[in-house]
Structure 1
Amino acid sequence: MASHRKSRPAGTLAAGLRTPALATAALTSVALLSQTANAAPTTDDRPSLEEVEKKVDDLYRQAESATEKYNKAKERTAEQRQRVDGLLDDVARRTQKLNEARDQLGSFAAAQYRTGAAAPDTATFLLAGNPQDYFDQAQLMNRLTGRQKDAVDAYITQQSETMEQRREATESLRTLTESQNDLKAAKATVQQKLTDARELLSELTAQEKARLAAIEKQKQEEAARKAAELARQQEQQRQAEAAAQQQQQESQTGTSGTGTSGTGASDTGTSTPSGSSTTQADKALAFARAQIGKPYVWGATGPDSYDCSGLTQASWKAAGVDLPRTTYDQVNAGTTVPLSQARPGDLVFFYDDVSHVGIYIGDGMMIHAPKPGAYVREESIYYDGESSIHSVVRPA
């Protein structure tokens, strides 16, 4: 994924990996690499600057996608571990009750033996697979009291339920192991992508880094231009909606000048509803702004660092709204709205695989945690080109 920022101190990637700030600032997408004519000719088998740039950009994109898969596997593993722990606790309680019931039935069998009604001893009963069979075969059921018969029935039921719980716990343990393996694989993938990117960047010369920085600056200017154009379009839409509202009010009252131009409009260019949703969006944005400057760390959910979905989840949680952990789930956790109607607090998702997300702040801008080696920052939603925008979702 492309980056848009000024040079910053080196930030921690993961597992001790650090990326030079100048190099990470130079990462851009292929969109503006039409300047290949300016590329220095290569005299050996080294890849061109454009090839390195594209490869690094792809690696960071792949790392972020793998991060969301890691987040999903981690969430699933935590849920399954909680379920397994609950099942094992339940099995332990049921086993204790089963042992107590077995001891009680054993006393019934011993009592029958002492009265001469049964030849087998208590040990025979305790080794029986089914107490009901034992009592039937020994022709003792007709000699048991109602309370004793109920105890036999309860034991059989408890025995069956305990065996079922044990089977369920065993299956859950197997599933948990699979999830843990998925988690390890996703983590290894992220770390390998970041390592590969770091190695490619370390091979760039100072001149190549400077050239990439110049391309980065051009991309930022283009992204800012598109954001300004979106803001202009949204303002026009706001004015049109305000005019329509005023005309409707005048028509209803039969007087002119009673409309309130701009009433209920947000500074993003769309009308903003009153009530709790606006308050929640304001709280989410206030939280997100307070995180600016904190490092991106894959898999992080705060408070000292975040990945992209970790930041949006924490921001809306501060507003009292619980979002799912991953971009894959967050994209379905609200109402999809057109980009032209985006307003502060909305979530903006990117790429076909929905592997990145930011929180819209208005005027074509957002706050997001861009990628490893970068920091939470404000940036144009067009930071990686217009085609990278997947959808806009309103959580509340």
Structure 2
Amino acid sequence: MRRPLRTHGYRAAAAAALACALTAASQQGAQADPRTLTEVQNKLKNLYHQAEVATDKYNAADGKVKAQKKRVNSLNSQVHTAEAKLTRLTSLAGATARAQYRSGSVPVELQFALSSDPARALDNAGLALQAQQNTQNLLTDLKTTKSALRTHTDEAAAELKRLRASRHAMATQRRTIEQHIAEAKALESSLAAKEKARLADLEKKESDRAQTKWKSTGILKKVGTDATTAGEKAIAFAVKQIGKPYVWGAEGPNSYDCSGLTSQAWQAAGVTIPRTSETQWARLKHVPIEDMRPGDLIIYFSDASHVAIYVGGGNIISAPRPGRNVYESPAASMRILGVVRPDA
């Protein structure tokens, strides 16, 4: 179940309280209470996690809007085509009627009686009547088709409006999260140099502990070591992006968010996968962790809000969070939800 966003007022109060704690810690200098740094670390993790969740929601909403817009455009094009055909046939039917009027519109029975070749006259009359009936039938069908297309188009347009409203709501939520990101950056910048070093050390130790525990299960003796040809291409792409900054909602070429990196890596390998980590988890084939191989995607956290590409040797390449760059890191440094395979 997705963790609900907390109110801005609560955030402001929490930030203020934490700022006080940081001030006290700064006064103590190198003797700053490690628990205060842990609190800062947890606060930052929480803020960045919520930012990633909001990014995924916005990206998903934006993708739906783009797809629906294409559908509306396609339906409008079909309506215009039907209208053009209807106009052309209506004009043709009118021209035929005018021609009959100018020729005196001689009744079929009289044409038959006066003709020197009654059989031919009968054939001609039958063909004319059949052509008129076919034209009328086609006009009726086109009017029905046009009406149905217009109904579908109106319904699609209404859905597009709803999706745009949803995307707008996601954008509003995204702006709220951006405020949270600003709080996180303010917390980071308020730390003295020694405190920052200790915070980084805490993060590394936590990551190393998690990775060591994961490796102790013998998992690396079970997982695959060879990527498919497509997997190798995806990994090669990801490696080239190392050092580029995380920007939420970005999918290259100069910056990425987590799923922007993985989707573009596999796109470079010729495989199109969903844009967001949630949809990658929902739609791609799940494989047991012990059957994982390089090129597979590791999905993190219970809400599938983060994703990375496994590159072998127990490591991943990912776009971690705002303020960080694409980098290689231990696969178990975050809570693993599962593994999916793009080229299954």
- What is the deviation of 1:58? 2.3
The answer to whether structure 1 residue 168 and structure 2 residue 146 are counterparts is: no
- Could you tell me whether the CA contact under 8 Å between 1:295 and 1:376 is conserved in 2? yes
Q: Deviations over 1:337-373 (max 9, x none)?
A: 3334433212111111111100112233211011122
Cα separation, 2, equivalents of 1:283 and 1:68: 25
Cα separation, 1, equivalents of 2:39 and 2:224: 45
- What is the deviation of 1:234? 3.9
Q: Does the C-alpha gap of structure 1 residues 327 and 222 become closer, same or farther in structure 2, counting only changes over 3 Å? A: same
Q: Does the C-alpha gap of structure 1 residues 234 and 49 become closer, same or farther in structure 2, counting only changes over 3 Å? A: closer
Residue identity in the other structure for 2:68: Q
Q: Does the C-alpha gap of structure 1 residues 192 and 84 become closer, same or farther in structure 2, counting only changes over 3 Å? A: same
Determine which of 390, 393, 396 is the counterpart of 2:337: 390
Cα separation, 2, equivalents of 1:228 and 1:204: 28
- What is the deviation of 1:210? 4.2
Q: Which residue of 2 aligns with 1:87?
A: 75
Cα separation, 2, equivalents of 1:377 and 1:339: 22
Q: Which residue of 2 aligns with 1:346?
A: 296
Q: Which residue of 1 aligns with 2:136?
A: 152
Q: Which residue of 2 aligns with 1:7?
A: none
TM-score by length of 1: 0.66
Matched ranges for 1:51-66 at <5 A = 53-66=41-54
Determine which of 178, 186, 208 is the counterpart of 1:194: 178
Cα separation, 2, equivalents of 1:374 and 1:339: 27
The answer to whether structure 1 residue 78 and structure 2 residue 66 are counterparts is: yes
The answer to whether structure 1 residue 178 and structure 2 residue 162 are counterparts is: yes
Q: Which residue of 1 aligns with 2:198?
A: 214
Cα separation, 2, equivalents of 1:318 and 1:62: 29
The answer to whether structure 1 residue 270 and structure 2 residue 223 are counterparts is: yes
- Could you tell me whether the CA contact under 8 Å between 1:63 and 1:194 is conserved in 2? yes
Q: Which residue of 1 aligns with 2:259?
A: 309
- Could you tell me whether the CA contact under 8 Å between 1:342 and 1:362 is conserved in 2? no
Matched ranges for 1:293-304 at <5 A = 293-304=243-254
Matched ranges for 1:18-33 at <5 A = none
The answer to whether structure 1 residue 292 and structure 2 residue 242 are counterparts is: yes
Further displaced range: 289-298 or 325-334? 325-334
Q: Structure 1, unaligned stretches of length 5 or more?
A: 1-35, 43-47, 119-141, 239-268
Q: Which residue of 2 aligns with 1:248?
A: none
Cα separation, 1, equivalents of 2:175 and 2:193: 23
Q: Which residue of 1 aligns with 2:110?
A: none
> Equivalent residue of 1:392, what SS?
strand
Q: Which residue of 1 aligns with 2:317?
A: 367
Further displaced range: 329-338 or 156-165? 329-338
- What is the deviation of 1:108? 4.4
The answer to whether structure 1 residue 377 and structure 2 residue 327 are counterparts is: yes
> Equivalent residue of 1:361, what SS?
strand
Cα separation, 1, equivalents of 2:189 and 2:257: 29
Q: Which residue of 2 aligns with 1:242?
A: none
Residue identity in the other structure for 1:377: Y
The answer to whether structure 1 residue 102 and structure 2 residue 90 are counterparts is: yes
Q: Deviations over 1:5-27 (max 9, x none)?
A: xxxxxxxxxxxxxxxxxxxxxxx
Give aligned pairs, total: 297
Please state which structure has a larger fraction of its residues in helix.
2
- What is the deviation of 1:201? 3.7
Cα separation, 2, equivalents of 1:287 and 1:204: 31
Cα separation, 2, equivalents of 1:207 and 1:300: 28
TM-score by length of 2: 0.75
- What is the deviation of 1:49? 6.5
> Equivalent residue of 2:332, what SS?
coil
- Could you tell me whether the CA contact under 8 Å between 2:261 and 2:318 is conserved in 1? yes
Cα separation, 1, equivalents of 2:127 and 2:340: 71
Name the % identity: 35
- Could you tell me whether the CA contact under 8 Å between 1:358 and 1:367 is conserved in 2? yes
Q: Deviations over 1:200-220 (max 9, x none)?
A: 542667446743541331231
- Could you tell me whether the CA contact under 8 Å between 1:234 and 1:340 is conserved in 2? no
Cα separation, 2, equivalents of 1:278 and 1:205: 43
- What is the deviation of 1:317? 1.8
Residue identity in the other structure for 2:305: S
Residue identity in the other structure for 1:94: A
- Could you tell me whether the CA contact under 8 Å between 1:308 and 1:370 is conserved in 2? yes
- Could you tell me whether the CA contact under 8 Å between 1:230 and 1:364 is conserved in 2? no
- What is the deviation of 1:105? 2.6
> Equivalent residue of 1:302, what SS?
coil
Q: Which residue of 2 aligns with 1:330?
A: 280
Q: Does the C-alpha gap of structure 1 residues 215 and 207 become closer, same or farther in structure 2, counting only changes over 3 Å? A: closer
Q: Does the C-alpha gap of structure 1 residues 278 and 229 become closer, same or farther in structure 2, counting only changes over 3 Å? A: farther
- Could you tell me whether the CA contact under 8 Å between 1:367 and 1:379 is conserved in 2? yes
Determine which of 57, 61, 70 is the counterpart of 1:69: 57
